[in-house]
Amino acid sequence: MGGLSIWHWLIVLAVGLLLFGGRGKVSDLMGDVAKGIKSFKKGLADDEAAKADAPAKSIDHQVAAEAPRRAEADSKV
């Protein structure tokens, strides 16, 4: 009752053949997966290179620009 009979394995085999077709389909599928992974890694590398080329943003510049405005606001109160 818990095991699979020969009929179960034949059905699984038939479904597998229907999904993947005949010869060469599995290797084509794995080649497409490999191309997708390479494209993903290339995209990550391009993003990191773009971040490295961009000037670094710092919070200090923003705080320094707001300091005179805060001093004026405090003196008016």
pLDDT at 63: 54
Q: Binning pLDDT at 50, 70 and 90, where does residue 2 land?
A: low
| 32 within domain boundaries | yes
Residues 6+ apart with CB under 8 A from 68: none
Domain that holds residue 71: 23-76
Does the pLDDT value for residue 75 go beyond 60? yes
Does the pLDDT value for residue 66 go beyond 80? no
Number of domains in the chain: 1
Nearest-angstrom CA–CA distance, 30 and 7 = 29
| 58 within domain boundaries | yes
When pLDDT is averaged across residues 53-60 and rounded to a whole number, the result is: 64
| 17 within domain boundaries | no
**pLDDT (tens digit per residue) in 6-52:** 999 999 988 888 877 767 777 788 889 999 999 999 988 887 777 77
| 18 within domain boundaries | no
| 13 within domain boundaries | no
| 37 within domain boundaries | yes
